[in-house]
A and B are shown apart, each in its own frame.
Chain A
Amino acid sequence: MKSATIQLETLACPSCLQKIEGALKSLEGIEKDTAKVSFNTSKVKLNFDEEKLSIEDIENAISKLGYEVIKYKVK
């Protein structure tokens, strides 16, 4: 399990959160309870299984929704 912190472009609508959270939770290999999108900091925090998917897959899923990933940190 690795934990990732992803910085997104500024989120402007609270429903963006639900969208991003929904999209992330549908990915295989993400620990669902840990996926948290915060509105004001425009950050995503989650734990994921690096054997099942990579941080790039996660980045892709988010940018497919139209939200730009500015940077991420994996620990």
Chain B
Amino acid sequence: MQRQILKNKNKITVVNAILIVVGFLSKWTVGNIEIFTWSLVIASVLGVSPIAIQAYQALRVKVVSIDVLVTIAVIGAFLIRNFEESAIVTFLFLFGAYLEQRTLNKTRSAIKELTEMAPENALKLMEDGEFLEVEVDEVDVGDILLVKTGAKIPVDGTVLTGEGSINEASITGESIPVAKEKGSKVYAGTILDNGTIQIVADRVGEDTTFGKIIELVEEAQDSKSEAERFIDRFSKYYTPAVLVLAFIVWLISRNIELAITILVLGCPGALVIGVPVSHVAGIGNGARHGVLLKGSEVISDFSRLDTMVFDKTGTLTVGNPSVAEKEYYGDKIEEALGYLASIERESDHPLAKAVLEDISEITISVVEDTEVIKGEGIIASVNGHRVAVGNVALMERENVKIDERAKNDIARFEKNGNSLVLTSVNGELKVLMGVRDQIRPGVKDDLMKLKKLRVKNLIVLSGDNQGTVDLVSSKLGLTEAHGNMLPEDKSAYIKKLIEKGHIVAFVGDGVNDSPSLALANIGIAMGSGTDVAIETSDVVLMNSDFSRLPHALGLTKATARNMRQNIIIAVGVVMILLASLIFSDWMNMSIGMLVHEGSILAVILNGMRLLRYKLRQ
């Protein structure tokens, strides 16, 4: 019986509404008071039944819920034969609850989309040698699975046979397919775009990278901030307090109408739901944009951030030195470049790699009599020519004449922070190349956006030498730059910043700077979904994508603002309702319930705006 009533709550709401309409129509059109009264009586009894059952269940576990307040109010209205109000209040309450559930589902949609990306089935190799479709829960570590084109990889594993390309967007946020062959690692939740592969399961279920991401986001949305815990405690005493207040008012005034109106007006609905709603929508927006926020405490700290520290120059630079500038001298340059490439091809020096990438297609000649001069470069014989590749010191050793123009070029390249690679053929300078690590594209704009979001201090702490660090810093307009720092120097520096009262975020890949990540108020991991990054940080930027950083900061600010708005709406509505009860004569139970349900929808809709949040350009 109880269960039936609760299951058919929506149908009850509809019948309840029809009865109310019929009642009022018969009163207004034909003036039949009898039909009016009876249909409202039936509507009241029908409408209050699911609410009363919920109230009873709550009381059994010693909780004074909103249902309890509403049930008493409706019974009170019924007793003083105000059937109009008892019927309308039950309808508004039921219909409000229905709308709440519908809209709440929307605010949670972003996270649901993520969890629905989890694989459900797998083709598992059975003992008889056939592949059989099983639920993903039935896959154990070591099982062999078949994945066909278009299917989801069910577990984290290693490719045994076959090849294909996989879209790893669910893990890395990067949608360009990655080629996989025998021995490659594949991840649960990613999609095999083409090809067919057999894999062996290395990690299954919640242990997979995707499983961990889901768990993290799910835990994040239900973790509670200090403010939320306060509201929880508050509402625990608040609802019984409203009940007591209504009772006292009744004792003093003997006015049942007034007492039950207080019960309805005092409902704390918008207050208890306002903060979780903002929170889940904010975290959901982040999850959609590759920003994993670990809980609401993180949101509140992150939104008040004033100092951002970067773990190394490599976070701001491409981390892959390349030829940034070059100059040629004299003739037969093509030949000289060929010799240069031939020599560099045999070297494993990082500069050599950059030089080769720059030259790429050229005729390669045989290199003989190679002599490596430590700290200077290489001298060798190519096609009978004496070729030297190295720095200025090597050129001096070779008595290569460096004219005025070349001298100016060298000075300019050095000033721009390049490492120099000079090439001479038979004692004549031919090529000058400047190699340097380049600023990541877009980083400068992103830093500007962060400044606009009121991050006052942008600091880089790096193990590189001070010169390199200063150069990056001046190019990007950072406020401070410190080189030659060991991991412990970095964490000591962060400690000092926090002691000075700054709210500090530390941005790093979390590989060797986990103490700093943990120590900072906010640890931001720029990982491509690696375990370490996921576990030690407060915020994970999925795709190591720097441009998500301003979005993350803007989002947490918007979420924190949204929570405050919702608290103001909720508290404001209750205060206005109570005030108008005292100072006006138009307030009654039905209007109170209407405004009240309206305020609940208002906070949910307000929270929903966060789902569409985008950083303004």
A interface residues with partner B (beta carbon < 8 Å): 10, 12-15, 18-19, 21-23, 26, 38-41, 43, 63-66, 73
| Beta-carbon contact of A41 and B222 below 8 Å | yes
9 nearest A-B residue pairs (beta carbon): A22-B61, A66-B6, A38-B222, A15-B65, A12-B101, A40-B221, A18-B63, A14-B272, A40-B280
B65's partner among A10, A18, A26, A39 (CB-CB below 8 A) is A18
| Beta-carbon contact of A64 and B222 below 8 Å | no
| Beta-carbon contact of A66 and B218 below 8 Å | no
CA distance A21 to B232 in the complex (A): 14
Whole-angstrom distance between the Cβ of B301 and the nearest chain A Cβ: 20
| Beta-carbon contact of B105 and A10 below 8 Å | yes
Chain B, residues 90-106, CB within 8 Å of chain A (1/0): the string is: 00000001001100110
**Among the listed stretches B50-58, B457-465, B546-554, which one makes contact with chain A, having 4 or more residues with CB under 8 Å of it?**
B50-58
B interface residues with partner A (beta carbon < 8 Å): 2-3, 6-7, 50, 53-54, 57-58, 60-63, 65-67, 97, 100-101, 104-105, 108, 111, 137, 218, 221-222, 232, 235, 269, 272-273, 276, 279-280
| Beta-carbon contact of A65 and B57 below 8 Å | yes
| Beta-carbon contact of B137 and A19 below 8 Å | no
**A contact patch SS:** mixed
| Beta-carbon contact of B272 and A66 below 8 Å | no
B276's partner among A18, A39, A64 (CB-CB below 8 A) is A39
CA distance A36 to B235 in the complex (A): 19
Whole-angstrom distance between the Cβ of A3 and the nearest chain B Cβ: 11
Which chain B residue shows the least CB distance to A37?
Answer: B222
Which chain A residue shows the least CB distance to B269?
Answer: A13
Q: Within 8 Å CB of B2, what residues of A?
A: 64, 66
Q: Within 8 Å CB of A66, what residues of B?
A: 2-3, 6-7, 50, 53-54, 57
A19's partner among B6, B61, B276 (CB-CB below 8 A) is B61
- 9 cross-chain CB contacts under 8 A: A10-B101, A14-B232, A14-B273, A15-B63, A15-B66, A15-B67, A22-B62, A40-B111, A41-B221
Q: Within 8 Å CB of B7, what residues of A?
A: 66
How many A-B pairs have beta carbons closer than 8 Å: the answer is: 75
Which chain B residue shows the least CB distance to A66?
Answer: B6
| Beta-carbon contact of B273 and A13 below 8 Å | yes
| Beta-carbon contact of B97 and A19 below 8 Å | no
CA distance A12 to B47 in the complex (A): 18
CA distance A9 to B86 in the complex (A): 29
CA distance A18 to B272 in the complex (A): 13
CA distance A15 to B63 in the complex (A): 8
Given contacts A22-B63, A39-B276, A63-B3, 12 further A-B contacts (CB under 8 A): A12-B104, A13-B97, A14-B273, A14-B276, A15-B66, A26-B61, A38-B218, A39-B222, A40-B276, A41-B111, A64-B2, A73-B137
Whole-angstrom distance between the Cβ of A73 and the nearest chain B Cβ: 7
Q: Within 8 Å CB of B66, what residues of A?
A: 13, 15
Q: Within 8 Å CB of A15, what residues of B?
A: 58, 63, 65-67, 272
Which chain B residue shows the least CB distance to A67?
Answer: B6
| Beta-carbon contact of A18 and B58 below 8 Å | yes
CA distance A18 to B67 in the complex (A): 13
| Beta-carbon contact of B62 and A64 below 8 Å | no
Whole-angstrom distance between the Cβ of B525 and the nearest chain A Cβ: 23
Max chain A CB contacts within 10 Å: which of B2, B50, B57, B67? Answer: B57
Which chain B residue shows the least CB distance to A19?
Answer: B58
Which chain B residue shows the least CB distance to A41?
Answer: B218
| Beta-carbon contact of B58 and A10 below 8 Å | no
Q: Within 8 Å CB of A65, what residues of B?
A: 57
Q: Within 8 Å CB of A19, what residues of B?
A: 54, 57-58, 61, 63, 65
| Beta-carbon contact of A12 and B97 below 8 Å | yes
Max chain A CB contacts within 10 Å: which of B53, B63, B100, B137? Answer: B63
Whole-angstrom distance between the Cβ of A12 and the nearest chain B Cβ: 4
CA distance A12 to B97 in the complex (A): 7
Q: Within 8 Å CB of A43, what residues of B?
A: 218
Max chain B CB contacts within 10 Å: which of A13, A21, A65? Answer: A13
Q: Within 8 Å CB of A63, what residues of B?
A: 3
Whole-angstrom distance between the Cβ of A41 and the nearest chain B Cβ: 5
| Beta-carbon contact of B100 and A12 below 8 Å | yes
Q: Within 8 Å CB of B111, what residues of A?
A: 40-41
Max chain A CB contacts within 10 Å: which of B7, B54, B66, B269? Answer: B54
Whole-angstrom distance between the Cβ of A14 and the nearest chain B Cβ: 5
CA distance A66 to B273 in the complex (A): 20
Q: Within 8 Å CB of B50, what residues of A?
A: 66
Q: Within 8 Å CB of A64, what residues of B?
A: 2-3
Q: Within 8 Å CB of A40, what residues of B?
A: 108, 111, 221-222, 276, 279-280
Q: Within 8 Å CB of A73, what residues of B?
A: 137
Max chain B CB contacts within 10 Å: which of A12, A40, A65? Answer: A40
Whole-angstrom distance between the Cβ of A13 and the nearest chain B Cβ: 7
Q: Within 8 Å CB of A22, what residues of B?
A: 60-63
